Amino acid sequence: MTLDISSVRRQFPVLRRSINGRPLVYLDSAATAQMPEAVCLAMARWNKEQKSNVHRGMHVLAEESTVAYEDARTAVQKFLNAAHPDEIIFTKGCTESINLVARSWGETHLQEGDAVVLSMLEHHSNVVPWLQLKDRKGSDVLWMDIDEDGMPKLDDLKKHLKTGRVKLVAITALSNVLGIAPDLKTIIAMAHDAGAWVLIDAAQAIAHMPIDVQDLDCDFLAFSGHKLYGPTGIGVLYGKRKLLEKMPPFLGGGMMIRSVTQEGFTPADLPGKFEAGTPPIAEAVGLAAAIEWMQQYSWEDIQAHEQELLRFAIDNLRLIPQLHVLGTDGKSQIINHKSPIVYGCLSFTLDSVHPHDLTEILGRQGIALRAGHHCCMPLHTKLGIPASTRLSVGIYNMKEEIDVCAQAIVDAQKKLHT
């Protein structure tokens, strides 16, 4: 289906909202994307007509729920082009997916002196679990700095891999601050050559670029449903079957066991082994609906639309005096004249205007931007700034909204400083 923005917008109930008499301008999809009606309806239908626990009952509702839940797994498998459905583990979010790998794989495969490589672009969810392992196991965390284009330095990776201590490279597919996409294929090939596994944090990338886990050849990949126009409360961990099979369970409870005695237990096969307790069933149904909804449009059209929006945003924001777009502005903390392509979001600073003041003032006019360190304190420290303001786009945004936002920034600057 061709991507007609006004028809897309009509499918998102929240976009009809107004705030203080002005239409909502939602530019915070990198934090969470809104849900189309189709997703809300699919979840409501399950809740009203099919709600039942999965796998354990023989009655009709249990059967329908189980089918819906496993269909959702297959939908995700196809979306990522994973080889097998049991390589798809449902979690409560991207953060839990990464923690699952850190706890299950990390606890058993990392020894004192082993190392995990991270990039300076990482979100805290892909930093803290590895720092926790460092505290518990004595494993090291080694960093890939970023170059003047904001790209993780491959030289740093090469240097770290040479030590022979690196067991895992955990890296984002798309920065949630700079909108910069590292060269994953090269990084994965380098890591594999050195005998290290690779975990991809696809929290941001999942809604903005096609991902093929077999083509990438990544070993793990994590994302959340709610940034993909789906509900909160569900995430996915993809893992290569041969790796997942060797990993011990993460949480203990129902569903993850084959048998339990007074003395011990035998874990279930994949994927149940990693899905202890009642899973987020309504959310899985919602995630599948979101994937189906998105797939009616082509990636080519989605990317062309979002690129146009971001290019327009960069060109317009750069006209505002004292505004510095991070990573694409000669005056910004990352000196860069090549202006790499950014996906999904961009962040900026405004001299002598604190991001919290800016987003509060814009928020009252119905414009939703995000302020702070965006859970990327190492990156902000590197850039030498305490905080920035982020503008992120989704499939439903329009150039007119960027215009409204840019004008409001100019007005806020005047309000605070004249």
Partner 1 sequence: MDLYAENILDHYRHPRNKGQGPLAKGQAVITHMEENLSCGDTVTIHLSIKDDCITEISWDGTGCAISQAAMSLLSEELQGKTLSEVESLTPQNVYDILGVPIGPRRVKCALLGLHVLKNTLRMKERKELQGWNETVGND
Q: What residues act catalytically? A: 375
Per CB under 8 A, which region of 16-24, 173-181, 191-199, 380-388 contacts partner 1? Answer: 380-388
Distance of alpha carbon 255 from alpha carbon 230, whole angstroms: 25
Quote the least distance from Cβ 349 to partner 1, whole Å. 12
- For residues 408, 411, 417, 418, the Cα torsion angle rounded to the nearest 10 degrees is -170
Q: With binding defined as CB under 8 A, does residue 415 bind partner 1?
A: yes
Among 361, 368, 395, 402, binds partner 1 (CB under 8 A): 361
Q: With binding defined as CB under 8 A, does residue 322 bind partner 1?
A: no
The two beta strands, 25-26 and 367-368, are: parallel
Per CB under 8 A, which region of 26-34, 46-54, 253-261, 371-379 contacts partner 1? Answer: 371-379
Quote the least distance from Cβ 34 to partner 1, whole Å. 21
Quote the least distance from Cβ 372 to partner 1, whole Å. 6
Quote the least distance from Cβ 130 to partner 1, whole Å. 20
244 CB neighbour count, 10 Å cutoff:
25
Among 66, 372, 378, 382, binds partner 1 (CB under 8 A): 372
Q: Specify burial of residue 354 (Cβ count, 10 A radius: 0-12, 13-18, 19+).
A: middle
Q: With binding defined as CB under 8 A, does residue 416 bind partner 1?
A: yes
Which regions of 120-216 does DSSP assign to beta strands (E)? 140-144, 166-172, 197-201
Instruction: Please answer whether residues 335 and 148 qualify as being in contact, where contact means their C-beta atoms are separated by less than 8 angstroms.
Output: yes
Amino acid at 113: G
Quote the least distance from Cβ 166 to partner 1, whole Å. 31
Q: Site size for partner 1, by CB under 8 A? A: 15
Tell me if residue 18 falls in helix, strand or coil.
strand
Q: With binding defined as CB under 8 A, does residue 360 bind partner 1?
A: yes
The two beta strands, 265-267 and 257-260, are: antiparallel
Per CB under 8 A, which region of 17-25, 164-172, 178-186, 368-376 contacts partner 1? Answer: 368-376
Distance of alpha carbon 119 from alpha carbon 198, whole angstroms: 12
State the residues that interact with partner 1 by CB under 8 A: 354-357, 360-361, 371-373, 380, 386-387, 415-417
